[in-house]
Chain A
Amino acid sequence: MGQTLFDKVWQQHVVKQNDDGSVLLYIDRHLVHEVTSPQAFEGLRLTGRKPWKASAAVATPDHNVPTTDRAMGITDAVSRAQVEALDANCAEFGITEFGMNDVRQGVVHVMGPEQGLILPGMTVVCGDSHTSTHGAFGSIAMGIGTSEVEHVLATQCLIQKKPKVMRISVNGALPAGITGKDVALFIIGKIGTAGGTGFALEFAGEAIRSLSMEGRMSLCNMAIEAGARCGMVAVDDVTLAYVKGRPYSPKAEDWEKAEAMWRELYSDADAEFDAELAYETSEIVPQVSWGTSPEMVLPVTASVPDLATAKDEVQREGWQRALQYMGLEANTPIVDITIDKVFIGSCTNGRIEDFRAAATIVKGKKVAANVKLALAVPGSGLVKQQAEAEGLDVIFREAGFEWREPGCSMCLAMNADRLEPGERCASTSNRNFEGRQGMGGRTHLVSPAMAAAAGIAGHFVDIRDWS
Chain B
Amino acid sequence: MQAFTHLNALVAPMDRANVDTDAIIPKQFLKSIKRTGYGPFLFDEWRYEDRGEPEMDCTHRPKRADFVLNQPRYQGAQILLARENFGCGSSREHAPWAILDYGFSCVIAPSFADIFYNNCFKNGILPIVLDDAIVDQLFKECAAVEGYRLDIGLQTQSVTTPSGHSFGFEIEAFRKHCLINGLDDIGLTLQEADSIKSYEANRQQSAPWLF
Binding site for B on A (CB under 8 A): 15-16, 18, 20-22, 24, 26, 28, 35-36, 38-39, 42, 47, 49, 52-53, 63-64, 76, 78-79, 81-82, 85, 119, 122, 127-129, 131, 143-148, 150-151, 154-157, 159, 161, 193-194, 197-198, 227, 229, 249-250, 254, 257-258, 261, 293, 314-315, 317-318, 321, 412-414, 431, 433-436, 439
Contact = CB atoms under 8 A, between A and B. Distances in A.
Contact of B16 (A63, A82, A155, A317): A317
B170 interface: no
A150 B195 contact: no
Given A38-B33, A145-B93, A257-B208, 19 more contacts: A16-B195, A26-B203, A36-B92, A42-B33, A78-B32, A127-B93, A128-B91, A144-B115, A147-B93, A147-B122, A157-B189, A194-B88, A194-B113, A314-B83, A412-B22, A431-B20, A431-B90, A433-B22, A439-B51
B27 A144 contact: no
Contact of B114 (A147, A198, A249): A198
B84 A194 contact: yes
24 contacts: A16-B195, A24-B195, A35-B92, A38-B33, A47-B184, A52-B196, A64-B31, A82-B33, A122-B210, A129-B91, A129-B115, A144-B115, A145-B93, A146-B93, A147-B122, A151-B189, A155-B192, A155-B196, A227-B113, A227-B114, A258-B209, A314-B84, A318-B17, A414-B31
B115 A143 contact: yes
A38 B32 CA distance: 9
B174 A145 contact: no
Q: Taking each of B27, B93, B206, which has the highest tally of chain A beta carbons within 10 Å of its own beta carbon?
A: B27
A197 B196 contact: no
B45 A155 contact: no
Interface residues of B, number: 56
A75 B38 CA distance: 23
Contacts of B18: 193-194, 293, 318
Nearest to A39: B35
B111 A194 contact: yes
B192 A24 contact: yes
B34 A156 contact: no
Given A154-B190, A227-B113, A261-B207, A435 B33 contact: no
The 10 A-B pairs with the shortest beta carbon distances in the complex, nearest first, are: A147-B122, A250-B209, A38-B33, A145-B93, A145-B119, A143-B91, A146-B93, A194-B85, A78-B31, A129-B91
B30 A35 contact: yes
B20 A433 contact: yes
Among B20, B55, B195, which residue has the most Cβ atoms of chain A within 10 A?
B20
Interface in B114-162: 114-115, 118-119, 122-123
A161 B17 contact: no
A82 B31 contact: yes
Given A20-B173, A197-B114, A227 B85 contact: yes
Nearest to A248: B209
B89 A129 contact: yes
A312 B28 CA distance: 34
A26 B211 CA distance: 13
A346 to B, nearest CB: 13
B115 A147 contact: no
B122 A431 contact: no
Contacts of B76: none
A221 to B, nearest CB: 13
A150 B185 CA distance: 11
Given A129-B115, A148-B118, A414-B31, A197 B210 contact: no
Interface string B34-61: 1100000000010000010011000000
A433 B195 contact: no
A127 B31 contact: no
Contacts of A151: 185-186, 189
A434 B25 CA distance: 12
B33 A85 contact: yes
A318 B88 CA distance: 15
Contacts of B17: 314-315, 317-318
A47 B196 contact: no
A54 B185 CA distance: 20
B208 A20 contact: no
Contact of A78 (B54, B85, B92, B115): B54
Nearest to B46: A434
B184 to A, nearest CB: 8
B189 A39 contact: no
B186 A49 contact: yes
Contacts of B22: 412, 431, 433-436
A241 to B, nearest CB: 18
Contact of A15 (B114, B190, B196): B196
B112 to A, nearest CB: 8
Contacts of A47: 184, 186
Contact of A434 (B23, B33, B119, B203): B23
